Structure 1
Amino acid sequence: MAGDWTFLTNHAHVLLCVARDPGMRMRDIADTVGITERAAQRIVSDLIEGGYVERERDGRRNHYRVNRQAPLRHPMDRDHAIGEILELLGR
């Protein structure tokens, strides 16, 4: 077998969760992606720090908004926006 790898990173999977359901709870993101809740929190923090996601507090819940104009991070891909990936994957 060629190994258990995928084309998308956990960061991409978390971003897809947020794009699909902006009010998704961290526990549900973690379960969907297959990571711990702590890892999901770190990834969401990374995405917020990187300018890919904005967090808005609504009572006890968080709601997220994806910045679809943010460029991809890798030097080979910087001329493409994150929104292009989301569109490609139907989000």
Structure 2
Amino acid sequence: MTEQAGQWHFLTNHARVLFAIARDPAARLRDIAEVCNVTERTALSIVSDLEQAGYVRRERDGRRTRYTLCPDGTLRHPAEAHVPVRELLDVFTSRDGQL
């Protein structure tokens, strides 16, 4: 049994990737994967999901990819559908560390 089996977490990998992009829109996929403790393939899949859902846009900048957040949408779960993504980002990416 793995160390994480039977454990649960408050944040999904999708949320972690979104927060990583919010903190560094010029981050390489490799860096996003490392920060989120997922594989590059998983990070790419999550970024694609976020892009398809309208939360993120990807743009090529030379040989790099730059990400742009689209924080005006709302959360997907019906219980939180009234909460703008911007509010979640503000809480988890605040610079002063205060909640």
Per the normalisation by structure 2, the TM-score is: 0.86
Q: In structure 2, what is the Cα distance between the partners aligned to 1:59 and 1:23?
A: 12
**SS of equivalent to 1:68:** coil
Counterparts of 2:36 and 2:46 in 1: how far apart (Å)? Answer: 11
What's the secondary structure of 1:45's corresponding residue?
A: helix
SS at match of 1:71: coil
TM-superposed CA distance for 1:6, in Å, is 1.4
Counterparts in 2 of 1:1-91, with a 5 A limit?
Answer: 3-91=6-94
CA distance in 1, matches of 2:27, 2:65: 8
What is the percent sequence identity of the aligned residues?
51
Q: CA RMSD in A?
A: 0.9
- Point out the structure with max Rg over C-alpha: 2
* Paired residue total: 89
Instruction: After TM superposition, give the deviation of residue 66 of structure 1 in Å.
Output: 0.8
Unaligned residue ranges in structure 1 (runs of 5+): none
The amino acid across from 1:75 in the alignment is P
C-alpha displacement of 1:55: 0.8
SS at match of 2:79: coil
* Separation (CA, whole Å) in 1 of partners of 2:23 and 2:9: 20
Report deviation, 1:89: 1.4
Large movers: runs of 4+ above 2 Å: none
Aligned counterparts of 1:18 and 1:85: Cα–Cα separation in 2: 13
